[in-house]
């Protein structure tokens, strides 16, 4: 089954404790991206990747890191999480930029 998976689905952590949210797709897609969803703001792009080893900042990259060492994986790293990073995070992939994106199920992160 074609899908985008994210782990964990729910995470509660404390300020400053490094964490990684994994994202994996099995569709051989070149384009992957991360979004955060906050009430009233829709989805805002954090980082995106056009292909392996090619990443770029989206609209809200501060406080986040990503890497794309393999085509299927695109982890999101929060080196020192803060409460303003409490949000719902989505990973997405598409065959190329401009095509429809397939979204993962979301990761609800709470930073206390």
Hey, which residues does 112 pair with through a beta bridge?
Answer: none
Q: Cβ 18 to other proteins, closest distance in Å?
A: 26
Measured between alpha carbons, how far is 62 from 52 in angstroms, rounded to an integer?
A: 22
Measured between alpha carbons, how far is 55 from 6 in angstroms, rounded to an integer?
A: 19
Q: Cβ 20 to other proteins, closest distance in Å?
A: 21
40 touches other proteins (CB under 8 A): yes
Using CB under 8 A, which of the segments 18-26, 38-46, 69-77, 78-86 binds other proteins? Answer: 38-46
Q: How many other CB atoms sit within 10 Å of the CB of residue 11? A: 16
Which residues of this protein are in contact with other proteins, per CB under 8 A?
33, 35, 40-45, 48, 58-59, 88, 90, 92, 97-103, 105-106
């Amino acid at each position: 089954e074609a899908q985008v998976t994210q782990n964990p689905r729910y995470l509660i952590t404390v300020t400053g404790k490094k964490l990684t949210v994994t994202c994996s797709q099995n569709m051989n897609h070149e384009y992957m991206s991360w979004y955060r969803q906050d009430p009233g703001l829709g989805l805002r792009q954090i980082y995106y990747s056009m292909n392996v080893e090619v990443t770029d900042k989206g609209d809200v990259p501060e406080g986040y890191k990503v890497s794309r060492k393999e085509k299927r994986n695109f982890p999101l790293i929060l080196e020192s999480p803060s409460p303003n990073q409490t949000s719902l995070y989505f990973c997405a992939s598409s065959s190329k930029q401009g095509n429809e994106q397939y979204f993962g199920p979301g990761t609800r992160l709470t930073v206390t």
